[in-house]
Structure 1
Amino acid sequence: MSLAFCGTDNNSAAYNVDGGVLNNGCFLDALNVVPHVFLLFITFPILFIGWGSQSSKVHIHHSTWLHFPGHNLRWILTFVLLFVLVCEIAEGIVSDGQSLHLHLYMPAALAFMAGVTSIVYYHNIETSNFPKLLSALLIYWVLAFTMKTIKFAKYTEHGIGPRQLRYCITGLLVLLYGLLLAVEINVILGRRYMCFDDPTEVKPPEDLQDLGVRFLQPFVNLLSKSTYWWMNKFITSAHKRPIDLKVIGKLPIAMRALTNYIKLRKEFEDQKLSSIRPVIRPVVCFFTPGLLLGFSVQKLSEFFSCDEIGDEQEPRATLTSGYSNHNQNKFPSVSAAESEMCLCLLDSLCCCPPRTHTGKLTMIVGQVGCGKSSLLLAALGEMQRVSGTVTWNSFALFLCRLIHERGPVAYASQKPWLLNATIVENVTFEMPMIKSRYNAVIEACSLQPDIDILPQGDQTEVGERGIILSGGQKQRISVARALYQQTNVVFLDDPFSALDIHLSDHLMQDGILKMLREEKRTVVLVTHKLQYLPHADWIIAMKDGTIQTEGTLKDIQKSEPELFEQWKTLMHRQDQEFQTTVTETMTDLERKNLRRAMYSREAAKTEEDEEEESMESEDDDNLSQVMRQRATIPWRSCGAYLSSAGPLLLSLLLLSQLLKHSLMVAIDYWLARWTSYVISAKADGSPRNCSADCSFSHAWYLSVFSVLCCLGIVLCLATSVAVEWTGLAAAKELHHGLLNKIILAPMRLFETTPLGSILNRFSTDTNTIDQHIPTTLECLSRSTLLCVSAMAVISYVTPVFLIALLPLAVTCYFIQKYFRVASRDLQQLEDSTQLPLLSHFSETVEGLPTIRALRYEPRFRHRLLQFTDANNIASLFLTAANRWLEVRMEYIGACVVLVAAVASISSSLYNQLSPGLVGLGLTYALMVSNYMNWMVRNLADMEVQLGAVKRINGLLRTEAENYEGLLSESVSQVPDGWPRHGEIKIQNLSVRYDASLKPVLKNVNVHVSPGQKVKTCTRPAIVIDNIDISKLPLQTLRSRLSIILQDPILFSGTIRFNLDPEMKATDEMLWEALEIAQLKSVVKTLPGGLDAIVTEGGENFSQGQRQLFCLARAFVRKSSILIMDEATASIDMATESILQKVVMTAFADRTVVTIAHRVHTILNADLVIVMKRGTILEYDTPQALLDSEDSVFASFVRADK
């Protein structure tokens, strides 16, 4: 049949223009085609040429996403426009006659294509930030709005009113085109690109220009304007990507719909072409796993292609003449001999040949960041070699071959690394236990007092990364491990940084000089403690990545007299460091903290045990009681999870599930009834009387079936939305509550709860609540309702089935009862075997330098395989248990089918059942086993997954700090510049860490005048500048003070962000702070300067440099009160001397409270506080205390001299 735009009827007046062109409907529709054709011809070249070419100037890569004004409104209006255009197309097709008037629906079809094109065009314009190109859309909206307005006016003129569907659709299109035109004008005006003579450049917000912020996918989000008003600035930056990328959560739904459509069409085609089904189906099923396999292989290939230590193939150096034949079969480093290194590493460490001698003590000294630790790592083969060689025992080895040729070296890194094991396992470290040697090492490292504090002694597990220990205790265990190893070479990287003077002297005398020297072991020691230089057999002085000088102390005295005099001054100052039994030393504080932490953890553990015992019955020893407790479903955790979603969503979820499955049963029932009537009609018809068969009509059944199917689709969609919303709401509520509790939690929580446990709540448990529980809940509810529906249908079809239902239900109950207990235990076993595997892997990665130095790679690899085997065995048992359940459910299902079939056949013999109902009952009976199998498995999975909710609820019950304070409602009472003077008054202060612990401060009274420098080791301040801090909100109090902790903390980001997280300081202020902290020269050499990247934990800087950055951060804030907790512990004496002078001058008008253990810093203070057992013995100026004969402070200073 031929087609024509205005119709093929020759008698029609479609081409009549006597009343004017605009009065002819066909011509008017033709004019409406013009805007859409214009947009298609304009945008396609830009899309396919501009953005399709890789070499085009328009093709720009962007790391951020900048939304134009009216972004959300535009998308809503566009989708509504597309819907209305679909309605217009449908109206045109329905109203078309036999002459096929294309003008009734072709303009609407072109408008739909233009609408889709506008979406793609706008998306590319926005991602590339080219708003000038929106002029094409502006012209299109103007033309479309004009044409539709003319058409709407002509309809009104010809008397077509709201009763006509075409009139209403045209009016809606006029409104939508007008709104889109207004949005486009607002974008251009707001961006000021075209309508002003002097346009101003509009840049993305500063947080989007941060190099650390990346948008994972360039999808447009309708809900991207969400705000989290309750979060502070730091947490907001951490939530940047989740807030801006909520659309990622919608992608699986879209992909699921597309996948379902593909599967449905495939199944339909398979029914027509069943011969090719065996060939096509495996290919289609392999497509998605094949893509995932390709991505995984690509990632693994990139990882396996990375450079490895010692992967350069260079010829092995020949033996020197001095290397005798009888030593050729030994490891060169086992007799560790003389090491000669000439290295150029990473273009930053260039060394003249330093030399270490057999059985001697070599010390490496230098300022912070000069390359001391890098030299040790280079000798161990842990750094990239640019040039140079390393000689071990006169056997020349290229550095790239060093890791394959040398023997074990005991290495204690600057940052201590411990296993998640007992203390004795960390010290022996895979070596046989020799009691005498072990005791000697423990004594040399002063670990026995610390071991006595622990509840299980040296059998106490230190936790992940040694979480229960302080920095000094971890450092001493790391050094003890190096001393215990029976290697001839020992590398110690700054082992005294976290130790006080007494522990340092004891370790030096008993550990290094006595134990290592007596055993004739070669020791290379990196240190800032210059008072130990006289003990060195050889000294290497480094400066700016080079060897400044080397030799004995006498040689350096002759060759470098200025350097020697500088050392002499610093050594004299270090020799004045003292320690008494009255002032609380750093070691005493560590041991007190350890004792308090152990007591708190034992108390917390006791409380948990008592709570568990109170929940159990009195007959705990009865096995049946224990089994009954284990078989109980955790209803409390389930209720906590569902209540987190809210009653509205919970009601919606329950109602949608019930309606959905009821409708599914109704659909099947209607099909059964339809089938019965068809069979009955055919049976009643005959060749002689075909009236019954011929009069039967399928229209009524088809209409009802279609309506039921449409309702089923809507209810399936509503159920999916309800499940996702419920899971999302519950996850958000639990995560927000957990985050708030952790942020506002008191210190007791972190002392009694391992850090790994808290991290697991935010990682593993949160992931379980986000990803697994909603899916398991949906599967459980679906399988349960399907099983109940099947039983109900079978019972309705054959009521006799109710007799057999009771024994089957009892059997199923006992099977699921035993399976749930076993499945839960097996899943917990799998998790418990997976945790050591992951922990061992992470520990191995963190401690690779130590492991490779000791040549323990095969041992750790073997242990990793053991953990893998244990996890695989647990997974195998869990899979076998699932198969066990499946077999028994199949038996029950077979019984159900047997009973249903016998009952149905028996009933049908007596004409009591229609064929359709018999088929319905048998169909449901065949699916019962599958439904019951998944119901029980999902119930067991849900029971295990609800453990995550239980653990998070345990943290949610933590009592929070009084974060608001008594002045929270009137914070304006606190002056903006408070504290302005820095006056501190402590009046009758008695505090304790917990209600179950004894007070650590008792009736303390101290008055610190503004600007004084105080040395103490207690928490300062109750009244600051006449304001009681107990009444202040904690956020206000903490934001007005500056504190520098002993352990330096740097965040991933830039140097600017670490110095000024709030981005309020100018570059001049930041450079001034870096100059005060002696870091200006270091930062200037970095690419980017203040915007240089800081890796995770600041690992691209040395320990001392990280401490200096923390000092600079405190200088930027310029608070009136500065608290320094051993802030110079990891800094060399020369740098510390400069910083002390800077603090005395730059903070001359401010109050500085310092925790220090060096006598020269204490004597320079304005006020000294001497404390014992939580009470103040005396406090006054240092000179006044020294002049007093009965002063405790003076007596110990005289005793130290």
Structure 2
Amino acid sequence: MDHLIEFWPILKRLLIYVKPYKKKLTLAFFLLISGSISEVLGPILIGYFINNILSKHQLHLLTILTIIVLFIILQILSVFMNYFQSILFNKIAVKSINKLREDVMYAALRQPISEFDSQPIGQMISKVTNDTEAVKELYDTVAPILFRSILLIFIILFAMFILEWHMAIVALFILPLVIILMLIYQYYSTPLLRKVRYYLADINNKFNETINGMNVIQQFRQQHRFEQKIKKSSHLHYMSRMKILRLDGFLLRPLLSLLSAVILCNFMLLFSFLPTGAFEVGILYAFITYLGRLNEPLIAITIQQSVLQQSIVAGERIFSLIDSPKQKYGNSKKLLKSGKINIKNISFNYSNCEKNILENINIDIASKSFIAFVGHTGSGKSTLANLLMGYYPLKHGKIYLDDRSIDSISHCVLRKNILMVQQDPIVLSDTVFYNITLGREISEEKVWRILNTVHLSQLVKSMPKGIYSLLGEEGNNLSVGQKQLLAIARILVAYPKVLILDEATANIDSGTEKLIQKTLLSIRKNCTLIVIAHRLSTIVEADSIVVLNKGKVIELGTHKQLLDKKKCYWKMYKFQSSKF
């Protein structure tokens, strides 16, 4: 019963996507009906020819030619109408699936950051690609074939009842048997189809993981291990597909063919036992032809039920993404006047971790000040930066930006006023110009000025097309340091109120680092600068240094003050100094 309960709501929701195309859909169904009627009228003409002309030897040339011409016209009309309805259904399907993909991408782009911490990327990619393609079959294949098949069944049965109602009643017995067959098929196929969609997404995820980690895999000679992982997922997918094929092979065509053969035997018995002349040979021919034609839509309905089930299961996965909670932000669109930050009693842990990453953090940061977060790996520095960006909802404590709670500020205001340069910045597979502007309207001259500021102008000038040169996938033709410089260049397009640098100078040589320091000092005049630093030499001029250990603030002060205390920060600084 659970399968039946889930089936109808998802189907109704998927059909909503074709609502904007009502007129085209009506025309497509009209052509489908006309084509089906033209197809069914053919055997009636042949039956009339057998009964009234051939059996009575009244071979009038004009009558025969008329029947032949009418028969050919009906077949041509059927072909053309079926062709045009197929084109219309496909157009509607493509437009509907485009809208569905837009909705899926809209939902994916607004997923909470925490979802990407726990959900494999391949699973999400599979929902956007494979699952939407499976739903497309509902619009361009399943719906028209099911409608045409059901229509053909009713037209054929109507024609049968007009010709001979006794034999039509015998043929009618096949319908309840087919319905029972379909219900049994749906019951057993749904869980199998869910497994197929899951395993396909798992294969995508493993391929994505393998390709992204190819350097590590080859370096540590893990090719065989990853090959076995993909092989295992492929085998599970294969076994599930085989179970469905066996189910199809048993419950679909063979059983339907058997049912049709039983009905045909009943026709022969009925024809044999009734008095001579009760049936005409033309009527028997029409019934045998119609039984063959009736078999086709019944098989089509049952086969399409398999595709329909796949579409419903795919729709279920898609709507689970669309209906999932979105990243929550406030509604206030009032711009920040300053970069003042107050962190009050913040305690935080990730959803998959019971232990707090941050414990009772209290920090006040003045506007246009230079603050540094330092600490050993796992101390909570990056987590605190992510909370300041508004990436995760706060469960305990508050963050105030410009004396306003961060959870009351809208997404557009946050992203305009708080920016972050990460240790491993994202570089888009696009031009240098687009990677800096990111769609913002900025002149080429300004882009060149920014490139000069971050000392990338010589590199870009050496590229074939200058700022319009394409960067490779994930910027693979740039060094890690050059990627970080490019990320800083994005910031310089429009100064935010708060700029966070998460180990942004970790992979830059000492010469370039000094140049970046000068750039950062100029940025300080316009915004609050928060630096998460591993190299303590980069933060000696900070107004305040926050030392974190195991999620707690253990020291707070200037570089000189912390050295004078000779505690944790002093040990870290002495250790780094001794290495150089």
TM-score range, shorter chain: 0.7 to 0.9
TM-score, normalised on structure 2?
0.77
Q: Distance in 1 between matches of 2:407 and 2:207?
A: 45
Normalized per residue, which structure has more helix? 2
SS at match of 2:165: coil
Q: CA deviation at 1:1004?
A: 6.7
The whole-number CA distance in structure 1 between the counterparts of 2:505 and 2:249 is: 62
1:1010 shift after superposition: 3.5
Deviation at 1:879, TM superposition (A): 4.4
CA distance 1:949–1:859, change in 2 (3 Å): closer
| Structure 2 CA distance for aligned equivalents of residues 684 and 1083 of structure 1 | 92
Question: Matches of 2:430 and 2:265 in 1, distance apart?
Answer: 68
Q: 1 CA distance for matches of 2:125 and 2:495?
A: 33
Which residue is 2:124 aligned to? Answer: 758
Between 1 and 2, higher relative CO (CA 8 Å, sep ≥ 6) is seen in 2
* 2:484 is the alignment partner of 1:1111: no
Q: CA deviation at 1:861?
A: 6.4
Other-structure match for 1:639: 12
SS in 2 for 1:1152: strand
Equivalent-residue separation in structure 2 for 1:845 and 1:1002 (angstroms): 38
Report what 1:340 is aligned to: none
Preserved contact between residue 460 and residue 466 of structure 2 (Cα < 8 Å): yes
Relative distance call for 1:720 and 1:905 in structure 2 (3 A) is: farther
Superposition deviation, residue 784 in structure 1: 3.7
Aligned to 2:396: none
295, 305, 320: which one pairs with 1:954?
320
Decide which of 416, 427, 440 is 1:1039's aligned counterpart.
416
Deviations 1:747-775 (A, max 9, x none): 23333433222222212212223356532
Q: 2:44 aligns with which of 644, 664, 672?
A: 672
Q: Take 1:858 and 1:1065, find their aligned partners in 2: how far apart are those partners? A: 49
Is it true that 1:660 corresponds to 2:27 in the alignment?
Answer: no
2:478 and 2:206 map into 1 onto residues whose CA distance is: 26
Q: 1:826 to 1:788 in 2, by over 3 A?
A: farther
Preserved contact between residue 986 and residue 1020 of structure 1 (Cα < 8 Å): no
Correspondences of 1:1081-1120 after superposition (within 5 Å): 1081-1120=458-497
What is the match of residue 1073 of structure 1?
450
Amino acid at match of 1:1009: A
SS of aligned partner of 1:634: helix
Does the 8 A contact of 1:983 with 1:1151 survive in 2? yes
User: Which of 760, 773, 777 is residue 143 of structure 2 equivalent to?
Assistant: 777
- Asked if 1:1057 is matched to 2:434, the reply is yes
C-alpha separation between the residues in 1 aligned to 2:549 and 2:220?
Answer: 44
Measured after TM superposition, the shift of residue 944 of structure 1 is: 1.6
Task: Answer yes or no: is the 8 Å Cα contact 1:964–1:1034 preserved in 2.
Answer: yes
Q: Taking structure 1 as reference, are residues 926 and 695 closer, same or farther at Cα in structure 2, changes over 3 Å only?
A: closer
Which residue, out of 962, 965, 981, partners 2:331? 965
What secondary structure does 2:315 align onto? helix
Which residue pairs with 1:616 in the alignment? Answer: none
**Separation of aligned partners in 2, 1:856 and 1:986:** 47
Q: Who is 1:1196 aligned against?
A: 568
Does the 8 A contact of 2:189 with 2:309 survive in 1? no
For residues 977-992 of structure 1, the aligned pairs below 5 Å read 982-986=338-342
> What is the match of residue 1015 of structure 1?
372
Superposition map of 1:559-578 within 5 A: none
How far does residue 888 in structure 1 lie from its aligned partner after superposition? Answer: 2.0
User: Among 230, 233, 255, which residue is 1:888 paired with?
Assistant: 255
Q: What are the superposed Cα offsets for residues 1136-1192 of structure 1, whole Å, 9 maximum, x if unpaired? A: 3442343224534432111224433444211234567878677554445666x7xxx
Q: Tell me if the contact between 1:649 and 1:722 (Cα under 8 Å) persists in the aligned partners.
A: no
The structure-2 alpha-carbon separation of the partners of 1:1126 and 1:987, relative to structure 1 and needing over 3 Å to count, comes to closer
Matches within 5 A, 1:334-353: none
Question: What stretches of structure 1 of length at least 5 have no aligned partner?
Answer: 1-627, 968-972
Distance 2:152 2:409 in 1: 58
Q: Is the 8 A contact 2:137 2:307 kept in 1?
A: no
Using the alignment, how far apart are the partners of 1:771 and 1:900 within structure 2?
Answer: 37
Match of 1:346 in 2: none
Residue 395 of structure 2 is matched in structure 1 by none
Mapped partners of 1:950, 1:741: distance in 2: 15
Tell me the SS of whatever aligns to 2:545: strand
Contact 1:1073 1:1116 in 2 (8 A): yes
Matched letter for residue 1154 of structure 1: V
1:778-819 per-residue CA deviation (whole Å, 9 max, x = no partner) reads: 233333433444445445544334664576445434544444
> Tell me, what secondary structure is at the counterpart of 2:178?
helix
Q: Is contact 1:1052-1:1098 (8 Å) kept?
A: yes
Cα deviation for residue 947 of structure 1 reads 1.4
Q: How far did 1:682 drift?
A: 6.7
CA distance in 1, matches of 2:441, 2:355: 43
1:322-351 C-alpha deviation (Å, 9 max, x unpaired): xxxxxxxxxxxxxxxxxxxxxxxxxxxxxx
The one of 516, 520, 539 equivalent to 1:1139 is 516
Aligned match for 2:529, one of 1152, 1172, 1175 = 1152
State the distance in 1 between where 2:123 and 2:226 align.
24
Distance 1:777 1:994, change over 3 A: farther
Distance, in Å, in 2 between the alignment partners of 1:826 and 1:1002 is 46
CA contact (8 A) 1:986 1:1004 kept: no
Which structure 2 segments of 5+ residues have no match? Answer: 374-380, 390-398, 575-580
Distance 1:864 1:683 in 2: 67
1:440-489 Cα offsets, whole Å, 9 max, x none, are xxxxxxxxxxxxxxxxxxxxxxxxxxxxxxxxxxxxxxxxxxxxxxxxxx
Do the aligned partners of residues 834 and 677 (structure 1) sit closer, same or farther apart at CA in structure 2, a change above 3 Å counting?
A: closer
Shift, 1:842, TM fit = 5.5
Equivalent residue of 1:1124, what SS?
strand
Q: Is the 8 A contact 1:650 1:726 kept in 2?
A: no
Verify the 8 A CA contact 1:797 1:918 in the aligned structure 2: no
Counterparts of 2:541 and 2:95, CA distance in 1:
58
Alignment of 1:932-951 (within 5 A): 932-951=298-317
Residues 510-535 of structure 1 show CA distances to partners (whole Å, capped at 9, x for unaligned) of xxxxxxxxxxxxxxxxxxxxxxxxxx
- Distance, in Å, in 2 between the alignment partners of 1:1088 and 1:1157 is 36
Post-superposition CA distance 1:859-878 (Å, at most 9, x none): 76677777767666665555
* Distance verdict in 2 for CA 1:888–1:1053, change over 3 Å: same
* 1:83-130 deviation digits (Å, cap 9, x = unpaired): xxxxxxxxxxxxxxxxxxxxxxxxxxxxxxxxxxxxxxxxxxxxxxxx
The secondary structure found in structure 1 opposite 2:255 is helix
Aligned-pair CA distance for 1:1094: 0.8
Which residue is equivalent to 1:923?
289
Greater gyration radius: 1
Give the distance between the partners of 1:855 and 1:1126, measured in 2 at CA.
30
- 1:114-155 deviations in whole A, cap 9, x for unaligned? xxxxxxxxxxxxxxxxxxxxxxxxxxxxxxxxxxxxxxxxxx
The amino acid of 1:638's aligned partner reads L
Name the TM-score, length of structure 1 as normaliser.
0.40
Q: Secondary structure at the match of 2:464?
A: coil
Alignment partners' CA distance in 1, 2:57 and 2:208? 78
* CA distance in 2 between partners of 1:862 and 1:1036 (Å): 48
Once the two structures are superposed, the pairs formed by residues 159-308 of structure 1 within 5 Å of their partners are: none
- Partner residue in 2 for 1:746: 112
- 1:923 Cα offset (Å): 0.6
After superposition, where does 1:249-648 map in structure 2 within 5 Å? Answer: 629=2, 634-646=7-19
What is the CA-CA distance between 1:925 and the residue it aligns to?
A: 0.5
Q: Secondary structure at the match of 1:1117?
A: coil
User: 1:1013 is aligned with what amino acid?
Assistant: F
Partner residue in 2 for 1:1124: 501
2:259 is paired with a residue of what secondary structure?
helix
How many angstroms apart in 2 are the aligned matches of 1:1025 and 1:828?
A: 49
Q: Distance in 1 between matches of 2:325 and 2:208?
A: 32
